[in-house]
Amino acid sequence: MKKIDGLEYLKLSKWNKFVYRFLSFFAAIPGKLLNLCKGIGKAVVKFFTGIGRSLQDIVTTFVHGDWKTKLSYLFMGFGNIARGQVLRGILFLLFEIVFIFYMITTGGYWLSKLPSLGTVETHTEMVKEQGRFGMVEVAKTVPGDDSFKILLYGVLTLFFVVAFIYTWRANIKQNKIAEQILKTGKPLKSGRDDLRSLVDDNFHRTLLALPLTGILVFTVMPIFFMILVAFTNYDFEHDGLNHLFHWNGLAGFKEMLSWNSGGVKYSAAFGEILTWTLIWAFFATFTNYFLGIFVAMMINKKGIKFKKLWRTVLVLTIAIPQFISLLFVSQMFAKNGIVNGALMDLGIISEAIDWWGSPTLARIMVIIINIWIGIPYLMLIATGILMNIPADLYESCRIDGASGWKQFSKITLPYMLFITGPYLLTSFTGNMNNFNVIYLLTGGGPTNTALSGTSDVGHTDLLITWLFKLTTGSNQKYYLASVVGILVFIVVAIITLVVYNVLPSVKNEEDFQ
Amino acid sequence: MASVKLTKVKKIYDNNVVAVHDFDLDIKDKEFVVFVGPSGCGKSTTLRMIAGLEEISEGTVEIDGVVVNDLQPKDRNIAMVFQNYALYPHMTVYDNIAFSLRLQKMPEDLIYEKVTNAAEVLGITEYLMRKPRALSGGQRQRVAIGRAMVRDSKVFLMDEPLSNLDAKLRNQMRAEIILLRQKLDTTFIYVTHDQTEAMTLADRIVIMKDGFIMQVGSPAECFDMPANLFVAEFIGAPKMNIVKTNLLKENGKYYVNPFGVKIEVDGEKGRELARRNVPAGEILLGVRPEHITLAPKGQGISTRLEVNEMMGSELHLHVFTEDETRLIVRVPTIGLSAEQRKGMVYGAPLNITFEGKVMHFFDPKTEKNLLCD
Amino acid sequence: MSKEQKEAQAVMKQHMGLKASQRLSNTIVYIILIIMSIIWLVPFVAIVLQSFRNETNAAGELVTWRVSYWLPKKWGIENYRSLFVDTSFPRWYLNTFIIALVQCVVQTIIVLCMAYTLSRFRFKSRGKLMRFMMILGLFPGMLTMLILYRVLSDLNMTGEHAVPGLILVYVASSGMGYYVSKGFFDTIPKALDEAARVDGATRFQVLYKIILPLAKPIVIYTILTAFMAPWGDFVFAAYIAHAKEAGMNVAVGLNSWLDKDHIVKYYTRFCAGGVMVAVPVSILFMCLQKYYVEGVTGGAVKG
């Protein structure tokens, strides 16, 4: 399409402007994708050239280094100790000893089993035993390999190996730097200097050490592990202990995404649930957003009294743990719950409504109850932002002759959207993964009979609750849960990328400053 | 009290932008040095490198003969006043000033003495128990200076300390800084973008542009003998008039002919040109507005008046020559008759002239002063 | 009447109209707000009413199941008594309280460390680290439940011993939630850090003498949210407790009373338990509401 420059664009009619922007947004997508691919490609190239340069550096350091450096290639930290940096040296050496000990005792075993995920099934064997009356044959269960443990500890060992290589590299770098410093005639940092720098120069390392270790062990490694699970056949039957599971390539993805996988229609379930997840996230985000702003504006309206009271009442839904409010509300709307009771007493309805029984009604109900939960947050956020909008913007707008609605649509809303752009994005992706509201209100129900055999998929199930059902239901399909998790990640990542590219607060940060 | 020496100091940012190029400077003990230049010229970066707030990419900084490149700011024994004062909002004025002393674990009674002394000198005794947000801009500035004062540090760094004050306060504080300097008797490094501050405060001015030093010299040197076109235009207000013209050489005498009017370069400037045997040719001629005088009708360069700014003691006249070049002329009010002043309206013809001794000559290519080394 | 007078009158009229229309719109707003307040309060009033139900039916049984009428026919605190005497509720309550307490100390420290570092230090891998954490955050956390369960069960931290397991996992992943605090730290001028460092403070002193006092609202916000989260956490706690009553927190325990087999006997006690949890937590929240608002708005604005 033709590019129009700034001034020409201004001459277009409103409709044409919209069409132009619409088209140019989509026209830009291929280019952006290309850029993304290029970026990824560059990163990969950079990664490998980095490794190459490291290797080169390792070799040259060895060739040009003195004997202390050379010995450090075998005994980590030797150079440090020989040059008087005892503390560093001992730490290096200790790490090496621990690593070697671990690899010999257990690590090697796990690594060697990792490619097969175990070969020996748990089985019964006839064993000759010394009975009371001589030798008898007894059936005995012999524990085989545990695929789960092999995968788990294999991954752990892999991480450990990577950490070791990294440390080894650092050890070599240290030697090189130490040699250079000594050449210039300056003294090296002593152990005391190192310790002192931990609260000053290197304070960031101290501060990050603990949190990052936690994240590495309890977030990064599990995610890495679960990604690997998607490429196995780990499920209820093949639980690893009683029956081994194996690497299974992309079979899990195939089962989830292909339309002709036979008996169980996972692909159909996936399509349906993804659609509802997106619809839900859209409504949950934007109803809350606009109603929240609306309520905030009402409360902050000139001449409205008891502002604090209104706010406090609404904030109750934040203060009270969601599981109480949501579970109770779900009970209120039960078929013989108090809502139906009240409505019948008042004569509004003659027969109890099955709020959670029909798919459409249940879906509408979760969205409405989510509004009840969500408005207060938005009200708080919007109040904060509304107060920050410079009053002179409104004053000049009024002098220019704008009505109340114009003031809202030309100043309040753009300002809000600009400031809360990133928040909208995170709240959209957060709603996609909003386990609590769905699970506590409907548990995913009512059951979708057209999709039987797919772990009781219901009409209000989100991908995340489905994932939960796949791992906890009666017929656990762990590898499918893992596949769903990866697909959720991909969907969320795509949305995030696209939105970040359109978001004004990212593109022109200074607009409203 | 200390000397500061910068050798080939360079600042390269992560995105490979070079903010400061090979900065060489020797600051003597008890000297007051001002870094001045337009925003983005690297003056603040240089100061922050001396303070240790910015890593030094290349070169060395020495304070009192000790290389401080790898020292943390707290170990450099410096005091600094920040542009936005950087007062700790949660502490009272007293605690703000006492903060550094408490970190040194000085006994409280000594701290009390020092803080109250400094407060008295700065006239902020009655505000000692207030929080910074209850103070006016000028008072905050004093607190910031007080905080730096009590430290008895070797070097006193000031990063645009007056630029957030209004014009009147700024003049007042400027005078107080001069007084302070006499009391403290220590080495000062002061950063500003305001040439007036630089001229009034400095023993030596360092004029910077795009990370390069343009000229280092006393205020008088920089004013009388600007090393290049940039310094010439930067120092002095209103700024120097620059005219492209020819330097002519006839019978050993030099002439310029701006706007077709031939003026002899007489006096010292003429002798200097001759001594250096400057060849005739195209040059950039610079004349400060205050050095231009009004000439009788029919003499000098004929112009017409565009804008007449009445400054009180003087008039700033914006005039256009016949070829539409704008010049600024500064005329003392006292030398003008009432009739003359009445005639100075839009479009009035004015004749101007200037003498040879006030002229500055710049090479049109290198923009260097032809009479400077 | 002169022209000017006419104009003046027109302006007056307009002015009056403005006032009247404002009064009208304010009335509408009041009506909406009152209706909203009722909607917001009804469930909480209802749960309190249900929790005081102490009536027996025709057969002489205590009505402990769900009914469709609002007001109890007979009031009493039998549900509360039974809650504390006959059930594991006190155990759940204690479990949750311990988790919340540990959590609000440790998580606060970790979050503040992360936020301060990422806001103030410019080290080499900072950008990469933040991007990596963002990508990590896009994975559904539920995915890792399975493996964490297995790891914790290897460490004997599931079932009855779920409390230390839960604490471990919560604490370990709390570094991910640094965004809000970092956003707040970013608003504290860097010149303050620099001034303090020139004044002779180490990085550590800068943190606890300058930044922390100034970041009081966000510190309290972090403590508050860290304390409140365990009271509502459901999924992971249920998974780790693995249907062992001794290892449950209040959310898991009370939820287990609502399944088909229990609801008849436990519904009113569920309501009582809900009230017992909601009252202290919401009182705490209301007291610190000011800081919560500051944190929420600050966090949303900074992204």
B144 and B173 within one domain: yes
Q: Which residues on C lie below 8 Å from B82 (Cβ)?
A: 191, 194-195
C218 interfaces chain B, CB cutoff of 8 Å: no
Residue A373 is assigned to a structural domain of this protein = yes
- Tell me which of A253-262, B159-168, B264-273 is least confident: A253-262
Q: Which residues on A lie below 8 Å from C218 (Cβ)?
A: none
CB crowding C219-250: b at 16 or more within 10 Å, else e: bbbbbbbbbbbbbbbbbbbbbbbbeebebbbb
A338 and A465 within one domain: yes
**Do C69 and A341 count as a contact with CB atoms less than 8 A apart?**
yes
A336 and A278 within one domain: yes
Q: Report the CATH number that the domain containing residue A467 is assigned in CATH.
A: 1.10.3720.10
A308 interfaces chain C, CB cutoff of 8 Å: no
A175 and A188 within one domain: yes
Residue C276 confidence (pLDDT)? 92
> Which of C29, C204, C300 is the closest to A301 by Cβ?
C29
What tens digit of pLDDT does each residue of B119-139 get? Answer: 998 889 999 999 999 998 889
Average pLDDT of chain A is: 84
B168 and B241 within one domain: no
CB-CB contact of C130 with C200 (8 Å): no
What tens digit of pLDDT does each residue of A418-465 get? Answer: 888 888 888 898 899 888 889 888 888 788 777 766 667 888 999 998
> Which of A199, A426, A489 is the closest to C139 by Cβ?
A489
Most confident range, picked from A22-26, A115-119, A275-279, B10-14: A275-279
Residue A138 is assigned to a structural domain of this protein = no
Last residue of a domain, one of A249, A277, A308: A249
CB-CB contact of C292 with A377 (8 Å): no
Q: What is chain C's Cα-based Rg?
A: 27
Residue of C nearest to A337 (CA): C68
CB within 8 A of A249, min separation 6: which ones? A231
- The percent of residues above 70 in pLDDT, for chain B, comes to 99
CB-CB contact of B208 with B218 (8 Å): no
B329 and B211 within one domain: no
> Which of A310, A381, A471 is the closest to C296 by Cβ?
A381
**Do C191 and B82 count as a contact with CB atoms less than 8 A apart?**
yes
Last residue of a domain, one of B231, B250, B269: B231
Distance CA(B29)–CA(B21), nearest Å, equals 24
pLDDT band at A393 (very low <50, low <70, confident <90, very high): confident
Chain A from 65 to 94: CB within 8 A of any C CB: none
**Do C37 and A310 count as a contact with CB atoms less than 8 A apart?**
yes
**Do A332 and C43 count as a contact with CB atoms less than 8 A apart?**
yes
Burial class of residue A251 (count of CB atoms within 10 Å of its CB; 0-12, 13-18, 19+): middle
Residue A76 confidence (pLDDT)? 86
CA A160 to chain centre: 24
- The percent of residues above 90 in pLDDT, for chain C, comes to 25
Instruction: Look at residue B242 and give its three-state secondary structure.
Output: strand
B203 and B288 within one domain: no
Residue A125 is assigned to a structural domain of this protein = no
Name the minimum distance, in Å, from the CA of A492 to any CA of chain C: 6
Instruction: Look at residue C214 and give its three-state secondary structure.
Output: helix
Residue B229 has pLDDT above 90, yes or no: yes
Domain, as residue range, for B326: 234-362
Q: Is the pTM of this model over 0.90?
A: no
Question: Could you tell me which of C254, C286, C274 has the C-alpha nearest to residue A316?
Answer: C286
Last residue of a domain, one of A60, A77, A101: A60
Mean pLDDT on A340-365: 87
Domain, as residue range, for A18: 6-60
B265 and B206 within one domain: no
Residue A512 is assigned to a structural domain of this protein = no
Distance CA(A17)–CA(A4), nearest Å, equals 10
A360 and A243 within one domain: no
Mean pLDDT on A271-282: 92
A181 and A89 within one domain: yes
In the block, which residue shows the tokens 């990163």? A43
Q: Which residue has the higher pLDDT, C7 or B333?
A: B333
Residue of C nearest to A214 (CA): C172
| Model ipTM value | 0.87
Chain A from 382 to 401: CB within 8 A of any C CB: 383-385, 388
Residue B372 is assigned to a structural domain of this protein = no
Residue A507 confidence (pLDDT)? 47
What tens digit of pLDDT does each residue of C87-107 get? Answer: 889 999 999 999 999 999 999
A285 interfaces chain C, CB cutoff of 8 Å: no
**Do B53 and C197 count as a contact with CB atoms less than 8 A apart?**
yes
> Which of C189, C191, C201 is the closest to B74 by Cβ?
C201
Residue A114 confidence (pLDDT)? 87
A389 and A343 within one domain: yes
Q: Which chains touch C (3 or more CB pairs under 8 A)?
A: A, B
Distance CA(A71)–CA(A78), nearest Å, equals 7
Residue A291 is assigned to a structural domain of this protein = yes
Distance CA(B349)–CA(B295), nearest Å, equals 11
A351 and A419 within one domain: yes
Q: Which chains touch A (3 or more CB pairs under 8 A)?
A: C
C137 interfaces chain B, CB cutoff of 8 Å: no
Residue A483 is assigned to a structural domain of this protein = yes
Residue B334 is assigned to a structural domain of this protein = yes
Residue A513 has pLDDT above 50, yes or no: no
> Which of A217, A321, A385 is the closest to C251 by Cβ?
A321
Residue A136 is assigned to a structural domain of this protein = no
Name the minimum distance, in Å, from the CA of B40 to any CA of chain C: 18
B253 and B205 within one domain: no
B346 and B280 within one domain: yes
Distance CA(A136)–CA(B156), nearest Å, equals 96
A404 and A272 within one domain: yes
Residue B129 is assigned to a structural domain of this protein = yes
Mean pLDDT on A223-248: 86
State the total domains in chain A: 3
Question: Could you tell me which of B257, B321, B307 has the C-alpha nearest to residue B283?
Answer: B257
Q: Which residues on C lie below 8 Å from A220 (Cβ)?
A: 136
C187 interfaces chain B, CB cutoff of 8 Å: no
State the total domains in chain B: 2
CB within 8 A of A320, min separation 6: which ones? C44, C278, C281, C282
Residue B32 is assigned to a structural domain of this protein = yes
Q: Which chains touch B (3 or more CB pairs under 8 A)?
A: C
Q: Report the CATH number that the domain containing residue B27 is assigned in CATH.
A: 3.40.50.300
CB within 8 A of B40, min separation 6: which ones? B210
Distance CA(C36)–CA(C103), nearest Å, equals 34
Last residue of a domain, one of B182, B213, B231: B231
Residue A63 confidence (pLDDT)? 85
pLDDT band at B234 (very low <50, low <70, confident <90, very high): very high
Q: Report the CATH number that the domain containing residue B276 is assigned in CATH.
A: 2.40.50.140
Last residue of a domain, one of B231, B264, B299: B231
Burial class of residue B259 (count of CB atoms within 10 Å of its CB; 0-12, 13-18, 19+): middle
**Do C201 and B103 count as a contact with CB atoms less than 8 A apart?**
yes
A40 and A154 within one domain: no
Residue A231 confidence (pLDDT)? 92
Cα→Cα distances C172→A151, A214, A216, B73, C111, Å: 22, 4, 9, 35, 11
Distance CA(C100)–CA(B30), nearest Å, equals 59
What tens digit of pLDDT does each residue of A134-189 get? Answer: 777 777 777 778 888 888 889 889 999 999 999 999 888 888 888 888 887 777 77
Describe the crossing of helices A147-183 and C145-154 by its angle, rounded to 10 degrees.
90
A339 and A406 within one domain: yes
Distance CA(C245)–CA(C222), nearest Å, equals 30
Residue C11 confidence (pLDDT)? 62
Residue B77 is assigned to a structural domain of this protein = yes
pLDDT band at A358 (very low <50, low <70, confident <90, very high): confident
A100 and A167 within one domain: yes
A279 and A221 within one domain: no
Residue C204 confidence (pLDDT)? 86
* Residues in chain C, pLDDT under 50: 1, 302-303
Distance CA(C138)–CA(C121), nearest Å, equals 25
Residue A332 is assigned to a structural domain of this protein = yes
B41 and B184 within one domain: yes
Residue C297 confidence (pLDDT)? 74
Q: Which residues on B lie below 8 Å from C195 (Cβ)?
A: 80, 82, 86-88, 147
